[in-house]
Protein backbone atom coordinates (compact mmCIF):
# COMPACT_ATOMS: atom_id res chain seq x y z
CA UNK A 1 0.00 0.00 0.00
CA UNK A 2 1.16 3.54 -0.68
CA UNK A 3 2.10 5.71 2.27
CA UNK A 4 1.36 9.32 3.12
CA UNK A 5 2.89 11.88 5.46
CA UNK A 6 0.91 13.61 8.18
CA UNK A 7 2.33 17.02 8.96
CA UNK A 8 5.76 18.43 8.22
CA UNK A 9 7.43 16.40 10.95
CA UNK A 10 7.65 13.29 8.80
CA UNK A 11 5.03 11.01 10.36
CA UNK A 12 4.53 8.42 7.61
CA UNK A 13 1.56 6.05 7.60
CA UNK A 14 -0.37 3.87 5.19
CA UNK A 15 -2.78 5.78 2.93
CA UNK A 16 -5.65 4.14 4.78
CA UNK A 17 -5.78 3.51 8.51
CA UNK A 18 -8.05 1.40 10.70
CA UNK A 19 -10.41 2.97 13.21
CA UNK A 20 -10.62 0.51 16.09
CA UNK A 21 -13.36 2.02 18.27
CA UNK A 22 -16.05 -0.57 17.49
CA UNK A 23 -13.75 -3.57 17.88
CA UNK A 24 -14.46 -3.71 21.62
CA UNK A 25 -17.58 -3.25 23.79
CA UNK A 26 -18.81 0.19 24.73
CA UNK A 27 -20.12 1.52 21.42
CA UNK A 28 -22.55 -1.20 20.45
CA UNK A 29 -22.50 -4.94 20.07
CA UNK A 30 -19.25 -6.41 18.74
CA UNK A 31 -19.84 -8.98 16.01
CA UNK A 32 -17.03 -11.27 17.08
CA UNK A 33 -14.88 -12.42 19.96
CA UNK A 34 -11.85 -10.59 21.27
CA UNK A 35 -9.56 -13.06 19.50
CA UNK A 36 -11.42 -12.50 16.24
CA UNK A 37 -10.94 -8.75 16.57
CA UNK A 38 -7.24 -9.25 17.29
CA UNK A 39 -7.05 -11.41 14.17
CA UNK A 40 -8.75 -8.64 12.17
CA UNK A 41 -6.20 -6.06 13.30
CA UNK A 42 -3.35 -8.38 12.41
CA UNK A 43 -4.98 -9.09 9.04
CA UNK A 44 -4.94 -5.33 8.42
CA UNK A 45 -1.20 -5.26 9.06
CA UNK A 46 -0.66 -8.19 6.71
CA UNK A 47 -2.51 -6.23 4.01
CA UNK A 48 -0.39 -3.12 4.37
CA UNK A 49 -2.20 -0.98 6.94
CA UNK A 50 0.24 0.58 9.39
CA UNK A 51 -1.97 3.22 11.08
CA UNK A 52 -4.28 2.26 13.96
CA UNK A 53 -6.57 4.58 15.90
CA UNK A 54 -7.85 4.10 19.45
CA UNK A 55 -8.61 6.24 22.51
CA UNK A 56 -8.67 6.11 26.29
CA UNK A 57 -12.44 6.66 26.29
CA UNK A 58 -13.22 3.81 23.88
CA UNK A 59 -14.75 1.23 26.15
CA UNK A 60 -13.42 3.08 28.14
CA UNK A 61 -9.94 1.55 28.46
CA UNK A 62 -10.57 -1.86 26.92
CA UNK A 63 -10.02 -0.73 23.33
CA UNK A 64 -6.46 0.36 24.05
CA UNK A 65 -5.79 -2.99 25.69
CA UNK A 66 -7.14 -4.81 22.63
CA UNK A 67 -5.10 -2.73 20.18
CA UNK A 68 -1.96 -3.10 22.28
CA UNK A 69 -2.29 -6.87 22.45
CA UNK A 70 -3.04 -7.19 18.74
CA UNK A 71 -0.12 -5.05 17.61
CA UNK A 72 2.50 -6.24 20.11
CA UNK A 73 4.11 -8.72 17.66
CA UNK A 74 4.43 -6.03 14.94
CA UNK A 75 5.05 -2.93 17.06
CA UNK A 76 8.05 -1.86 14.96
CA UNK A 77 5.90 -1.86 11.79
CA UNK A 78 2.93 0.23 12.92
CA UNK A 79 1.87 3.70 14.06
CA UNK A 80 -0.51 3.80 17.04
CA UNK A 81 -2.66 6.87 17.69
CA UNK A 82 -4.64 7.39 20.88
CA UNK A 83 -6.44 10.27 22.57
CA UNK A 84 -6.93 12.00 25.92
CA UNK A 85 -9.38 14.63 27.04
CA UNK A 86 -12.46 13.05 28.62
CA UNK A 87 -12.72 12.94 32.39
CA UNK A 88 -13.02 9.31 33.48
CA UNK A 89 -13.26 9.00 37.25
CA UNK A 90 -11.93 5.48 37.77
CA UNK A 91 -11.69 1.97 36.43
CA UNK A 92 -14.55 1.11 38.80
CA UNK A 93 -16.97 3.60 37.22
CA UNK A 94 -15.58 3.85 33.70
CA UNK A 95 -17.86 6.46 32.19
CA UNK A 96 -16.80 9.88 30.90
CA UNK A 97 -18.23 12.73 32.97
CA UNK A 98 -17.08 15.69 30.92
CA UNK A 99 -13.84 17.08 29.57
CA UNK A 100 -10.48 17.42 31.27
CA UNK A 101 -7.30 18.60 29.53
CA UNK A 102 -5.43 19.97 32.51
CA UNK A 103 -1.73 19.23 32.04
CA UNK A 104 -1.56 16.93 35.08
CA UNK A 105 -4.55 14.97 33.78
CA UNK A 106 -2.97 14.69 30.33
CA UNK A 107 0.14 13.23 31.91
CA UNK A 108 -1.87 10.73 33.96
CA UNK A 109 -3.88 9.76 30.86
CA UNK A 110 -0.71 9.18 28.85
CA UNK A 111 0.74 6.97 31.57
CA UNK A 112 -2.45 4.92 31.55
CA UNK A 113 -2.48 4.64 27.76
CA UNK A 114 1.16 3.55 27.65
CA UNK A 115 0.39 0.85 30.19
CA UNK A 116 -2.73 -0.43 28.44
CA UNK A 117 -1.12 -0.34 24.99
CA UNK A 118 2.02 -1.93 26.49
CA UNK A 119 4.31 0.41 24.54
CA UNK A 120 7.07 2.83 25.46
CA UNK A 121 6.00 5.69 23.22
CA UNK A 122 2.67 6.84 21.78
CA UNK A 123 3.21 7.60 18.10
CA UNK A 124 0.42 10.17 17.75
CA UNK A 125 -1.40 11.70 20.73
CA UNK A 126 -4.59 13.65 20.07
CA UNK A 127 -6.58 15.91 22.32
CA UNK A 128 -9.96 14.19 21.83
CA UNK A 129 -12.07 17.32 22.25
CA UNK A 130 -11.06 20.89 23.01
CA UNK A 131 -11.55 21.73 26.70
CA UNK A 132 -12.91 25.30 27.00
CA UNK A 133 -11.63 25.50 30.59
CA UNK A 134 -7.97 24.91 29.70
CA UNK A 135 -6.03 27.23 27.36
CA UNK A 136 -4.92 25.30 24.30
CA UNK A 137 -1.44 26.71 24.87
CA UNK A 138 -1.28 24.73 28.12
CA UNK A 139 -2.42 21.59 26.32
CA UNK A 140 0.14 21.98 23.54
CA UNK A 141 2.81 22.75 26.14
CA UNK A 142 2.02 19.55 28.03
CA UNK A 143 2.22 17.56 24.78
CA UNK A 144 5.53 19.25 23.99
CA UNK A 145 6.92 18.18 27.37
CA UNK A 146 5.81 14.58 26.80
CA UNK A 147 7.43 14.59 23.37
CA UNK A 148 10.69 15.88 24.82
CA UNK A 149 10.54 13.08 27.40
CA UNK A 150 10.10 10.47 24.67
CA UNK A 151 6.66 9.34 25.80
CA UNK A 152 4.96 10.76 22.71
CA UNK A 153 6.23 11.26 19.15
CA UNK A 154 3.63 13.56 17.56
CA UNK A 155 0.80 15.81 18.75
CA UNK A 156 -2.65 16.09 17.19
CA UNK A 157 -6.08 17.63 17.73
CA UNK A 158 -9.59 16.32 17.13
CA UNK A 159 -12.64 18.36 16.05
CA UNK A 160 -10.83 21.63 16.80
CA UNK A 161 -11.68 24.98 15.23
CA UNK A 162 -9.35 27.13 13.12
CA UNK A 163 -8.19 29.49 15.86
CA UNK A 164 -7.50 26.64 18.28
CA UNK A 165 -5.44 24.88 15.61
CA UNK A 166 -3.40 28.01 14.98
CA UNK A 167 -2.79 28.68 18.68
CA UNK A 168 -1.75 25.10 19.39
CA UNK A 169 0.50 24.96 16.33
CA UNK A 170 2.31 28.10 17.51
CA UNK A 171 3.35 26.30 20.70
CA UNK A 172 4.22 22.93 19.16
CA UNK A 173 3.71 21.63 15.61
CA UNK A 174 0.40 19.85 15.17
CA UNK A 175 0.98 16.77 13.03
CA UNK A 176 -2.66 15.97 12.30
CA UNK A 177 -6.23 17.02 12.87
CA UNK A 178 -8.78 14.24 13.25
CA UNK A 179 -12.29 15.30 12.29
CA UNK A 180 -15.33 13.96 10.49
CA UNK A 181 -15.10 14.43 6.71
CA UNK A 182 -16.92 12.56 3.98
CA UNK A 183 -19.28 12.96 1.05
CA UNK A 184 -21.96 13.29 3.77
CA UNK A 185 -20.12 15.99 5.74
CA UNK A 186 -17.99 18.46 3.76
CA UNK A 187 -18.02 21.47 6.06
CA UNK A 188 -14.28 21.15 6.72
CA UNK A 189 -13.68 22.42 3.20
CA UNK A 190 -14.84 25.91 4.17
CA UNK A 191 -12.07 26.89 6.62
CA UNK A 192 -10.37 23.85 8.13
CA UNK A 193 -8.84 22.27 5.02
CA UNK A 194 -7.30 25.57 3.77
CA UNK A 195 -5.85 26.20 7.24
CA UNK A 196 -4.32 22.73 7.42
CA UNK A 197 -2.81 23.16 3.97
CA UNK A 198 -1.34 26.53 4.95
CA UNK A 199 0.21 25.18 8.16
CA UNK A 200 1.32 21.81 6.82
CA UNK A 201 -0.94 19.70 9.04
CA UNK A 202 -2.34 16.33 8.00
CA UNK A 203 -6.03 15.44 8.11
CA UNK A 204 -7.34 12.13 9.44
CA UNK A 205 -11.05 11.83 8.60
CA UNK A 206 -13.03 9.65 10.97
CA UNK A 207 -16.41 8.31 9.87
CA UNK A 208 -15.30 8.56 6.21
CA UNK A 209 -18.21 6.26 5.33
CA UNK A 210 -20.74 8.32 7.25
CA UNK A 211 -20.70 5.92 10.22
CA UNK A 212 -21.72 3.20 7.78
CA UNK A 213 -24.53 5.10 6.06
CA UNK A 214 -22.69 5.70 2.79
CA UNK A 215 -22.21 1.96 2.29
CA UNK A 216 -25.93 1.54 1.70
CA UNK A 217 -26.38 -0.97 4.52
CA UNK A 218 -28.35 1.37 6.83
CA UNK A 219 -31.88 2.66 6.23
CA UNK A 220 -34.85 4.06 8.14
CA UNK A 221 -35.76 0.57 9.34
CA UNK A 222 -32.36 -0.16 10.90
CA UNK A 223 -32.53 -0.94 14.63
CA UNK A 224 -29.39 0.09 16.50
CA UNK A 225 -28.05 -1.73 19.55
CA UNK A 226 -28.93 0.22 22.76
CA UNK A 227 -25.21 0.89 23.35
CA UNK A 228 -24.64 2.08 19.76
CA UNK A 229 -24.40 5.86 19.97
CA UNK A 230 -25.64 6.28 16.41
CA UNK A 231 -29.14 5.60 17.67
CA UNK A 232 -29.09 8.96 19.50
CA UNK A 233 -27.71 11.02 16.62
CA UNK A 234 -30.27 13.24 14.83
CA UNK A 235 -28.83 12.30 11.45
CA UNK A 236 -29.67 8.65 12.18
CA UNK A 237 -33.30 9.27 13.10
CA UNK A 238 -35.58 7.29 10.74
CA UNK A 239 -36.96 10.37 9.00
CA UNK A 240 -33.44 11.76 8.41
CA UNK A 241 -32.17 8.42 7.12
CA UNK A 242 -35.09 8.24 4.70
CA UNK A 243 -34.48 11.79 3.45
CA UNK A 244 -30.73 11.25 3.09
CA UNK A 245 -31.16 8.06 1.10
CA UNK A 246 -30.95 10.10 -2.09
CA UNK A 247 -27.25 10.70 -1.41
CA UNK A 248 -26.60 6.99 -0.88
CA UNK A 249 -28.44 6.14 -4.09
CA UNK A 250 -26.39 8.67 -6.03
CA UNK A 251 -23.09 7.22 -4.75
CA UNK A 252 -24.31 3.69 -5.44
CA UNK A 253 -25.17 4.61 -9.03
CA UNK A 254 -21.78 6.25 -9.50
CA UNK A 255 -20.06 3.15 -8.09
CA UNK A 256 -22.03 0.73 -10.28
CA UNK A 257 -20.95 2.59 -13.42
CA UNK A 258 -17.32 2.04 -12.41
CA UNK A 259 -17.81 -1.54 -11.18
CA UNK A 260 -16.70 -0.76 -7.62
CA UNK A 261 -18.62 -0.46 -4.34
CA UNK A 262 -20.16 2.68 -2.80
CA UNK A 263 -17.69 2.44 0.11
CA UNK A 264 -14.78 2.40 -2.33
CA UNK A 265 -16.09 5.48 -4.11
CA UNK A 266 -16.54 7.35 -0.82
CA UNK A 267 -13.01 6.51 0.33
CA UNK A 268 -11.41 7.11 -3.07
CA UNK A 269 -13.05 10.53 -3.19
CA UNK A 270 -11.46 11.42 0.16
CA UNK A 271 -8.05 10.11 -0.87
CA UNK A 272 -8.19 12.22 -4.03
CA UNK A 273 -8.81 15.48 -2.17
CA UNK A 274 -5.29 16.00 -0.78
CA UNK A 275 -2.13 13.86 -0.55
CA UNK A 276 -2.02 14.47 3.20
CA UNK A 277 -5.46 13.02 3.96
CA UNK A 278 -5.58 9.57 5.59
CA UNK A 279 -9.08 8.19 6.28
CA UNK A 280 -9.58 5.68 9.10
CA UNK A 281 -12.69 3.61 8.34
CA UNK A 282 -13.60 1.06 10.97
CA UNK A 283 -14.99 -2.43 10.50
CA UNK A 284 -15.29 -5.72 12.35
CA UNK A 285 -15.39 -7.85 9.20
CA UNK A 286 -12.47 -9.04 7.07
CA UNK A 287 -14.49 -8.77 3.85
CA UNK A 288 -15.21 -5.09 4.58
CA UNK A 289 -11.57 -4.47 5.51
CA UNK A 290 -10.48 -5.82 2.14
CA UNK A 291 -13.19 -3.83 0.39
CA UNK A 292 -11.98 -0.62 2.07
CA UNK A 293 -8.36 -1.35 1.18
CA UNK A 294 -9.47 -1.73 -2.43
CA UNK A 295 -10.40 1.95 -2.44
CA UNK A 296 -6.72 2.87 -2.42
CA UNK A 297 -6.47 1.47 -5.94
CA UNK A 298 -9.59 3.17 -7.32
CA UNK A 299 -8.53 6.07 -9.54
CA UNK A 300 -11.02 8.90 -9.93
CA UNK A 301 -10.37 11.29 -12.79
CA UNK A 302 -10.82 15.07 -12.44
CA UNK A 303 -14.10 14.66 -14.33
CA UNK A 304 -15.21 11.96 -11.89
CA UNK A 305 -14.44 14.18 -8.92
CA UNK A 306 -16.23 17.16 -10.44
CA UNK A 307 -19.27 15.06 -11.21
CA UNK A 308 -19.38 13.73 -7.64
CA UNK A 309 -18.92 17.16 -6.11
CA UNK A 310 -21.50 18.80 -8.36
CA UNK A 311 -24.09 16.11 -7.72
CA UNK A 312 -23.61 15.81 -3.96
CA UNK A 313 -23.52 19.59 -3.45
CA UNK A 314 -27.12 19.77 -4.65
CA UNK A 315 -28.36 17.34 -2.01
CA UNK A 316 -29.24 18.94 1.35
CA UNK A 317 -28.30 16.70 4.27
CA UNK A 318 -30.98 16.26 6.91
CA UNK A 319 -30.20 16.09 10.64
CA UNK A 320 -27.38 17.31 12.87
CA UNK A 321 -24.32 15.14 13.38
CA UNK A 322 -24.67 14.95 17.17
CA UNK A 323 -27.15 15.71 19.95
CA UNK A 324 -26.75 19.30 21.27
CA UNK A 325 -24.44 18.41 24.18
CA UNK A 326 -21.96 16.63 21.92
CA UNK A 327 -22.30 19.16 19.11
CA UNK A 328 -21.12 21.86 21.53
CA UNK A 329 -17.80 20.00 21.88
CA UNK A 330 -16.93 20.37 18.19
CA UNK A 331 -15.26 23.15 16.19
CA UNK A 332 -14.04 25.02 19.29
For 43-102, what is each residue's pLDDT tens digit? 999 999 999 999 999 999 999 999 999 999 999 999 999 999 999 986 655 678 899 999
Closest CA to 86 of 98, 104, 71: 98
Residue 257 has what pLDDT? 96
Asked if the structure places residue 307 within a domain, the reply is: yes
Q: What is the pTM of this model?
A: 0.97
Q: Let me know if residue 332 belongs to a domain.
A: no
- Is residue 99 one of the residues assigned to a domain? yes
8 A C-beta contact, residue 266 and residue 210: yes
Give the CATH number of the domain where residue 264 resides: 3.20.20.100
> Running DSSP on this structure, what letter comes out for residue 31?
S
Q: Is residue 157 part of a domain?
A: yes
Expressed as residue numbers, the domain containing 19 is: 3-327
Q: How much of the chain, in percent, has pLDDT values that exceed 70?
A: 98
**Domain total in the chain:** 1
In whole angstroms, what is the distance from residue 174 CA to residue 157 CA?
A: 7
58 is catalytic: yes
Inter-residue contact 262 to 295 (CB < 8 Å): no
pLDDT digits (tens, 9 = 90+) for 193-226: 999 999 999 999 999 999 999 999 999 999 998 8
**DSSP H/E element including 324:** helix 324-327
Query: What are the tens digits of pLDDT across the range 225-261?
Result: 888 999 999 999 999 999 999 999 999 999 999 999 9
Candidate list 58, 105, 126, 181, residue with the active-site label:
58
Asked whether the predicted pLDDT for residue 161 surpasses 80, the reply is: yes
Is residue 298 over pLDDT 60?
yes
Query: In angstroms, rounded to a whole number, what is the distance separating the alpha carbons of residues 244 and 248?
Result: 7
Amino acid sequence: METRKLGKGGLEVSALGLGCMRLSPGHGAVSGTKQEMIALIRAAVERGITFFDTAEVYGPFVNEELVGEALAPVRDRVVIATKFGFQIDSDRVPHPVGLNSRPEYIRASVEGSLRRLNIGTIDLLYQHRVDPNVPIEDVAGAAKDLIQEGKVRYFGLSEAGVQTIRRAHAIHPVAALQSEYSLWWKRLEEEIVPTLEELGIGLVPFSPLGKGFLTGTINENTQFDPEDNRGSFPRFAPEALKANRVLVDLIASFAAQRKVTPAQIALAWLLAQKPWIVPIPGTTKLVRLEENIGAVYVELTPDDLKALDDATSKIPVQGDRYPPALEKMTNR
